């Protein structure tokens, strides 16, 4: 079996090893692959592994040996699964590997915003505390989470994990989900999407990117939110209308936002959220702890083994 990894650097910048995949055949790893390089690099591949390299009808039509695509991520929108099905190609993803890490990033953004951690650290590097006449100072609002409402949009594994962390901080949790109320954890109340946005102090997004969720957070929905509210997005960039969010932040209609994903990655220098007021942007790293990436690689190996042995797992095609 010829196994090609098209963008191996994303998962493994050097602190892990792909050697575990060599047991299945000949392995070739490319750090990055541009769209125009895909066909040439993958022409002999029986199995392709991709994180963000797009694979669709055009590629499948020119790759006669290809029988398996392993997406090295949970989201698999980079692969046209309908086209893969037509060409008899099995597509798998990696579910649940980063649940704890992504939930941790949600709280990291939330705590940074509510305690102004970054702001005060920068002020003190510049010597402000040293020159202060009092033992402490604050000129940014400090916000206690206990008693506030966390609205979780999408109540899968990560949304559930965020809810547990929010409850540990004493927050009330409401959820927008298709799950029946009786299946939700104690203390989590199901509510409508508009009600969640209108009543929550913090809204955390955990829904997949599908046509129905593109720009789910738009100008109209942002207008429902309290001016003191905080939006956290660790789902997918296009779930949010970025210009609408930037506009809401810049005019003070929303207190702050913490985002780990953008519509375009890497973003252009004029991406509206990069310079928006009280918007804190991290470079899509919620998934990237060593522990989460180690689990990802282990599941990637297990997925490929299961396919070879004739009982594929985590199939999305």
Tokens of 31: 């750090």
Contacts of 99 (CB under 8 A, 6+ apart): 157, 158, 161
- Give the chain's largest Cα–Cα span: 73
Q: Which of 109, 255, 284, 295 is catalytic?
A: 284
> Distance between CA atoms of 55 and 80, rounded to whole angstroms?
6
**Which residues are paired to 153 by β-bridges?**
176, 205
Active site residue 284: yes
Q: Which of 44, 82, 189, 265 is catalytic?
A: 265
Active site residue 265: yes
> Distance between CA atoms of 314 and 317, rounded to whole angstroms?
9
Which is nearest to 79 in space by CA: 98, 88, 92, 66?
A: 92
Q: Which of 109, 221, 236, 295 is catalytic?
A: 236
> Distance between CA atoms of 311 and 313, rounded to whole angstroms?
7
DSSP assignment of 231-256 equals EEE-S-GGGB-HHHHHHHHHTTSSSE
**What dihedral angle (degrees, nearest 10) is formed by the CA atoms of 249, 253, 257, 262?**
-50
Q: Are 72 and 53 in contact (CB under 8 A)?
A: no
> Distance between CA atoms of 163 and 174, rounded to whole angstroms?
8
Instruction: Output phi, psi for 230, to 5 deg.
Output: -125, 135
> Distance between CA atoms of 148 and 170, rounded to whole angstroms?
8
Q: Are 249 and 132 in contact (CB under 8 A)?
A: no
Which is nearest to 246 in space by CA: 257, 260, 233?
A: 257
Could you give the residue numbers annotated as active site? 236, 265, 284
């Amino acid at each position: 079996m010829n196994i090609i990894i098209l963008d191996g650097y994303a998962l493994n910048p050097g602190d892990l090893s792909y050697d575990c995949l060599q047991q299945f055949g000949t392995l070739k790893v490319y750090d990055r692959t541009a769209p125009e390089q895909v066909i040439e690099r993958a022409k002999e591949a029986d199995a392709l592994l991709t994180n963000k390299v797009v694979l669709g009808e055009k590629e499948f039509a020119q790759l006669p040996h290809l029988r398996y695509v392993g997406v090295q991520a949970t989201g698999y929108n980079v692969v046209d699964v309908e086209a893969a099905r037509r060409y008899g190609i099995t597509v798998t993803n990696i579910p649940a590997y980063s649940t704890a890490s992504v939930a941790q990033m949600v709280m990291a953004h939330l705590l940074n915003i509510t305690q102004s951690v970054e702001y005060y650290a920068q002020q003190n590097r510049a010597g402000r505390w040293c020159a202060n006449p009092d033992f402490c100072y604050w000129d940014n609002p400090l916000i206690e989470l206990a008693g506030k409402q966390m609205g979780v949009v999408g109540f899968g594994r990560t949304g559930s994990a965020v809810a547990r962390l929010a409850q540990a901080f004493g927050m009330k949790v409401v959820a927008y989900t298709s799950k029946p109320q009786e299946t939700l954890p104690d203390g989590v109340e199901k509510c409508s999407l508009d009600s969640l946005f209108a009543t929550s102090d913090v809204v955390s997004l955990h829904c997949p990117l599908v046509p129905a969720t593109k720009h789910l957070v738009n100008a109209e929905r942002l207008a429902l939110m309290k001016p003191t509210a905080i939006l956290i997005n660790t789902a997918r960039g296009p779930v949010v209308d970025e210009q609408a969010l930037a506009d809401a932040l810049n005019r003070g209609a929303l207190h702050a936002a913490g985002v780990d994903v953008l519509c375009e990655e890497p973003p252009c220098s004029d991406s509206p959220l990069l310079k928006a007021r009280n918007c804190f942007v991290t470079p899509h790293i919620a998934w990237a702890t060593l522990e989460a990436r180690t689990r990802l690689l282990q599941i990637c190996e297990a997925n490929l083994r299961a396919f070879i042995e004739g009982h594929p797992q985590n199939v999305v095609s």
